[in-house]
Amino acid sequence: MQKIIDAHVHLSERGDDALIRFAGMNGLRYTLDELLDTMRRLEIMRGLLLSPPMRGGTPLPNQEIIGLCAKSSGMLAPVITAEPTAKEVKTAISLAEENKKEVKAFKIRLGYVKASAESPVFDKLYDYAESKGLPVLFHTGDTAFSTGDLSRAQPLTLDGLANKREELAMVLCHFGNPWFEDVAELIYKHPNVYADISGLVTPGAYAEKYAEWLAKKISEAIYFAAGAEKIIFGTDYPVSKHSETLALVRRLEVDEPDKEKILWRNAERVFHL
């Protein structure tokens, strides 16, 4: 049986969830039932659940993410989002410690928060993550809202941190879109840097041409990095549909064993699933 891991999923049960707009564009109900049904249908065995942004700009409280995962019959595992204040970093670490059997990673919302990857406020989080072997996911590239800060979400801003923290597994979300070549260099250069392909496929004019372009960019990154060991499947549900993100993997002009690495082998290794 093919086994797939979706390393980037969002969900809430709140009316002020800012991703409802994307769910609407994709014709998704954006509910726990829909998510789990889709995962079962497409043989996606596990998903990592991350806080969606709320309309006020703050992320859904981590406790609600842990609660949703508890209702998922073991299909979803929580990722703890850490915001850039000493208090929130401390709380994020405590939550990870209290739920250490479940929590698989941390997330930092570069481009949405007023801090960069190397801001000292995250030092304790990185220390903890390194000591526990928990990867840190970083939003990189285009932001979902026009108010985002691209100068802090540009993937090359992670190079310095990767140099300093060779034991920290870092996952660059959305392949740094549109800076695919920068991410190709980062995953090639650093043994501890990975990239996910979540949230890339979106509806709109030229959707078919855009999907082709994406497949070409990611395939080329694999040629450059001389392998697909650092690339991880994720959807960013409800921003991208499961079926369309799987179609993106099928379109890649790489060998089948490399697609298998992308679909689950790499995530299983990096997140210790």
Closer of 197 and 254 to Zn ion (Cβ):
197
Sign, Cα dihedral of 37, 40, 42, 44: positive
> Which 8-state DSSP code applies to residue 77?
E
Nearest-approach distance from CB 223 to Zn ion, in angstroms: 26
Structure tokens at 103: 């929590």
Rounded to whole angstroms, how far apart are CA atoms 212 and 265? Answer: 24
Nearest-approach distance from CB 107 to Zn ion, in angstroms: 8
Q: Where are the beta strands (DSSP E) in 130-244?
A: 136-139, 170-173, 193-196, 231-232
Nearest-approach distance from CB 8 to Zn ion, in angstroms: 6
Rounded to whole angstroms, how far apart are CA atoms 38 and 22? Answer: 17
Structure tokens at 69: 């995962």
Segment interacting with Zn ion, rule: CB under 5 A, options 63-71, 164-172, 219-227, 232-240:
232-240
Segment interacting with Zn ion, rule: CB under 5 A, options 61-69, 107-115, 185-193, 233-241:
233-241
Using CB atoms, what's the residue nearest to Zn ion?
236
Closer of 171 and 254 to Zn ion (Cβ):
171
Nearest-approach distance from CB 172 to Zn ion, in angstroms: 12
Nearest-approach distance from CB 262 to Zn ion, in angstroms: 18
Closer of 17 and 236 to Zn ion (Cβ):
236
Closer of 83 and 236 to Zn ion (Cβ):
236
**Which one among 194, 236, 249, 266 touches Zn ion, defined by CB under 5 A?**
236
Segment interacting with Zn ion, rule: CB under 5 A, options 122-130, 188-196, 230-238, 246-254:
230-238
- Contact between 258 and Zn ion by CB under 5 A: the answer reads no
Closer of 51 and 72 to Zn ion (Cβ):
51
Rounded to whole angstroms, how far apart are CA atoms 147 and 5? Answer: 31
The answer to whether 261 and 231 have CB atoms below 8 angstroms apart is: yes
- Distance spanning both ends of the chain, measured CA to CA: 17
Q: Where are the beta strands (DSSP E) in the chain?
A: 4-10, 44-50, 76-81, 105-108, 136-139, 170-173, 193-196, 231-232
Segment interacting with Zn ion, rule: CB under 5 A, options 33-41, 185-193, 228-236, 246-254:
228-236
- Respond yes or no on whether the N-terminal peptide bond of residue 178 is cis (omega within 30° of 0): yes
Interface with Zn ion (CB under 5 A): 236
